[in-house]
Each structure stands twice: as C-alpha cells, then as structure tokens.
Structure 1
Amino acid sequence: MPTSDTPTRSGVVIVGSVTADLTTFSQRLPVGGETILGDDFTLGLGGKGANQAVAAGRAGANAAFVGCVGDDLFNELVVTGLSDAGVNIAHLRTVPGPTGIAHIRVDASAQNDIVVVPLANARLDAEQVDLALAALAPTTSVLLTQLETPLTLTAHITARARELGITTILDPAPAAALPDAVWRNVDIVTPNETEATVLSGIAVTDAESAALAGQWFLDRGVGAAVITLAERGSCVVTASGATLIGSIAVEAVDTTAAGDAYAGYLGAALASGSSLAAAVQLATAAGALAVTQRGASPSLPVRAAVDAFLGTNGAPVVTLAP
C-alpha cells in the first residue's frame, strides 16, 4: 500500500517521434505531376509520439515524452507545444541538425496523405531510452510507443518496459514486420484495419475479420489487441474473447491525429485504473472529437470536452460470437 512518501505509478511515458507538421488543405489532392491551388495552410507540432503525449497530457495524465528534436527554428515550436500541454520534457533531447518534418495534404472529404522525414528522430538511442525509463519508472504505469523511430529500438524499448513492470501499448504505425520477441513484450497493440491486415496477413474488412487478426497478435504473445475500424468502431480481442465497441458519428474535417488522440487517451485511462473496455470507450470519444478540428496537436481535445461528449454520445459494446 503506497504511503504519503511513496509516489503512485499513474504516469504515462511516450517514447516516439516528434515533427513539425506542414499541412495543406485543398478541395482534392493533386495527381502525379499536377499543381493545384490550395485553400489553407497550417504549421504546428506533430509526430505520432508527440501527438500521443499531448493527448495524454490533455487527458489529465502525468505524461512524459522521450524523443529527439533538432536545434533548428522548429525547436521552440516543439518545446512550447509539449510544455503547454503539461508534458514533462526532461527527456526530450536536442540534437544537432533539423527537426523531423511531416508534409500532410488534406482534401475536402477529410482524407489525407502524409510524408514523414525522420531527421532528428533517427538520433533516438538505447542509452537515452534507458536513462529516461529508469528515471520515470517509479511513477509510471503505462508506456506508449510507435514505429516512427528506428525499428531497431522497438525491441529494446518494449523489453526494457517489461523489465520495469510498465504496461506497454504499441501503435504499429507505419506498419512494419516485427520479430516475435517484440510481440511477447507488448501488452496491448492498437493497429487500424490497414495495419492489422499488413501485419497479420488477414484481410480486415469487418468486426469478424478484425477478431481473427486480433487473435493473430495474441498467438504471438500480445496481451490484447485493439483494432480500430474507423466508423465501425473498435474490435477488442483478449484471451476472454472479442467485443466490438461502436464508434460515435461526427462530421470529419481532418483525420490526421485521430489515432493519436485515441492512443493518448487510451494510455491515460489505463494509467488511472480504468478497465480496457472503459478506456477504449473514452479513447473512441477523443478520436471522434479530434477529427472535427483541423491540424494534428491543435485538434487534440481536453478531458472535460471528451467526458461531456461521451456522456451524451455513448459508444455501445457488443460481444462477438466466438
């Protein structure tokens, strides 16, 4: 039982990428070799890791970020964006050279395409990860990580978290083949339907096929799979079976950071003691709210808004047949 002198392990640490997001908005996306006129442009904090950290911070979690930023003109944008969201940046390392860049194009239907150039993110290394996790472990219960940092580090990050007794959530994006040793150290994997298809080899088109893909992850040692199916909701697969947690209908403006809002809120909810089903419902509401606003980090909602939205727009839970 913790005493007043013993910190509780309710924090969330995010190990991942950070970018400066350059986003253009146009009625449609150009075809190869074509130039079109756009409607708007934004510049802001992004990167899957940083977005998830901001989301966790806005969810009310004690969030800390581990990553690398360049010493260029985008350094202040990154530092300010994370700090303003209440994220601990003691383990954000400034390295020589440019900050990572994401070029995002969004059309009138809210669909997007993205080119990510890692740059400073490629400088994240095992020593930095080890120092950060050792310092944060006494107050941290959940780790979020993704695949926008060097793949060679993923095994190290997940293994170290397991050694320290930290629940690990892997957002496998962009999808890439991983050795079974990595899967055995992942407590929860959160692919979307495309990523689940690429990784498992099972075409994910509905809740039933998502359940099959989820079992593929469990067969490799993952504790639970949460496969997001856009407007069809989320398929949650555990050793006890599969359930479908429905989506919440909204009018989408920009889907860029929906998955990151979802991941950050999922981690924050689990760190606060919520069940996986309750955490997924909260994450669903956060992801839905995120797509109603433009930009990556600017679209990530605050907890009061998410609670109010979920309170009037519940996400139904359906048990799937085995």
Structure 2
Amino acid sequence: MSVIVVGSINVDVTVVADRMAGAGETITGSALETGLGGKGANQAAAAARAGARTAMVGCVGSDAFADVALAGLRDAGVDVDGVRAVDGGTGIAHIRVAGGDNSIVVVPLANASLSVEQAVAAIDATDASVLLLQLEVAQEVVLAAAERAHARGLRVVLDPAPAAALPESIWRWVSLVKPNEHEAALLTGVEVTDAASAELAAAWFLERGVEAAIVTLGKAGAVLVDAAGARSLPGHVVDAIDSTAAGDTFSGYLAAALGDDASLDDAARRAMAAAAISVTRIGATASIPTRDEVDAFLA
C-alpha cells in the first residue's frame, strides 16, 4: 500500500481552557501543546499510522518550527524527501480548545511556497497508488496535482477543507471526495442537515464525474454514495474532548485502506473508527491512533 500526500505542513500551538474567551476577554487556560499539524501533514501521519507507506510533499520554513514539523512527520513514519525548506517561517496554527470544540487561526507562511512544479515532479516520481489532497495550499497546486495523478492512474482522494469554491474541471480528476456537512453545502448548494440531504449533496459530486462521495456528519456518522447506491454509516459514541484533526484522521485512514485495496465500505468503517478515537485525545497528530488501536476498537 502506498499513499502520497500533497498539502500543508504546520506547527500547531494548542491551548486548552474550560470555555472559549469572548472578544476582549482574558481567561486562564489549563494546558499548552506544541506539535505537528496542518491538514496535509496530519493526513500523512494518519495514513502512515494506518500502515501505509506514505510520502509527504510540502514546504517548511528556515526556523526552529521546521525541525518540529519534520521530526513529527518522521516520528509518524512519513517519508519527507518531498518536503522542501524555504526561507522564512514554517506554517503555524493557533488552536483554542474548550468543551470538545475548537477554534483555529492558520498562518500559511511556507505553505504558500508549495509550487505546481514541486507537486507534479513528486507525482511523476512516485509509485504510490493513492494521492491525497486538501485545500490549505494554493488551488493551482491542487488542480495540477489532481490532473497529473489522474493521468498517471492514481486514485485521487480530495478532502475539500477548508471549504472553498472549486472549478468544475477538478471533478473529472477526483476519484473520491470527502467533505463534511459544511463543505458539502458550500460546494453543492445543498443545505446538509441530515442523512437525506447529505445523500443529495453526495449525488451532486457523482453527477460531475466523481466516482464516490462520503459526506461526514460529525457524531451522526456519514453518508457514502457511489455507483452501488447510498448507505448511511453510523457514528461511534465516545467522550469527545478535542475534535482537532478528526477529519484529517478520517481522510488519512481512508486513503491508506484504499491503497491496500480495501472496499470503500471497509475503508470508511476503519476511517470512522480512527476519527472516533482521535476526538478522545488532545492535539492534532498526537491524537491519531495506530493501526493496532483501531483494530482493537473495532473488535
């Protein structure tokens, strides 16, 4: 199994408090965590922990945070030969966590230096079977990567987050799209409030050439639609304390399972279990479970 991830690499600075501070208010927090983050890096770490041979393509800066990011990727088992160091700062995300919810401010910095040429060259050189993309880098990079990977026969998995309008051309290159309810609504114009509306949104993607769509609904589970039809996937009941990177955990595990030739339903089942475990822990990559942990959870 082999996955290549083209996307963002950040260092997360996470603070935990009993509640969110209001505008102009100062409150006392209970914990501080610093570690690897960024949707691309999180998803690469998840795919690697799921057991996939995983390569990361992205950029870090020339500061001390670059060492933190690279060490985090290596510790997760990710190949970082495709990560380029550029002048300036490494991407940063400031995350505030309270009551299981979070708010995030991202400063892209080095991520803005990821180029079409860097992404395409990495895809041309890879023997991976799955390309995993998100939207925290320049849209032109995402489009070029999807087009080249599709032309080379890779399965293209797109996690369209953070939500952004995309050109119609991208859907002909995407094998599987995995939005949450908010991203699905922005992209399709369908207000997603339940399984039925999620199915309508998923069908919108298939009408444009995508082979399959999974619309996630948080603790309510997810809806999967492909040529075989639609099915609802129930969520897991857990004690959630931090939802940071739950979606990234889902995407990384999904890509890893698909790279191992798992059926889409089995891949989604593993991804949902991994995401459920992740919300019971604080942090981004620190919350991502191992393959053995997911096996035990499902057992």
TM tier relative to shorter chain: over 0.9
**More displaced 10-residue stretch of structure 1: 29-38 or 288-297:** 29-38
TM-score normalized by the length of structure 1? 0.92
* Cα distance in structure 2, aligned partners of 1:183 and 1:118: 25
Which of 81, 89, 94 is the matching residue for 1:98? 89
What runs of 5+ residues in structure 1 fail to find an aligned partner?
A: 1-9, 312-322
Matched, 1:221 2:212: no
Query: If you compute each CA radius of gyration, which structure gives the higher value, 1 or 2?
Result: 1
Structure 1 position 239, deviation (Å): 2.2
Report the residue type matching 1:144 in the other structure. Answer: L
Q: Which residue of 2 aligns with 1:319?
A: none
- CA deviation vs aligned residue, 1:213-263 (integer Å, no higher than 9, x gap): 001111111111100011111100112211011111110011001111111
Structure 1 position 35, deviation (Å): 1.4
Q: Which residue of 2 aligns with 1:116?
A: 106
Matched, 1:184 2:172: yes
* Cα distance in structure 2, aligned partners of 1:183 and 1:237: 15
SS of corresponding position for 2:131: strand
Q: Which residue of 2 aligns with 1:4?
A: none
Return structure 1 stretches of 4+ with deviation > 2 angstroms: none
* Cα distance in structure 2, aligned partners of 1:201 and 1:31: 31
Matched, 1:208 2:196: yes
Which of 157, 171, 193 is the matching residue for 1:169? 157
Aligned residues: CA RMSD: 0.8
Aligned residues: 299
* Cα distance in structure 1, aligned partners of 2:184 and 2:23: 28
Matched, 1:279 2:279: no
Structure 1 position 111, deviation (Å): 0.3
* Cα distance in structure 2, aligned partners of 1:237 and 1:116: 32
SS of corresponding position for 1:74: helix
What runs of 5+ residues in structure 2 fail to find an aligned partner?
A: none
Report the residue type matching 1:11 in the other structure. Answer: S
* Cα distance in structure 2, aligned partners of 1:292 and 1:125: 36
Report the residue type matching 1:253 in the other structure. Answer: I
Q: Which residue of 2 aligns with 1:135?
A: 125
Which of 118, 136, 146 is the matching residue for 1:158? 146
| Percent of matched pairs sharing the same residue | 52
Q: Which residue of 2 aligns with 1:246?
A: 234
Q: Which residue of 1 aligns with 2:223?
A: 235
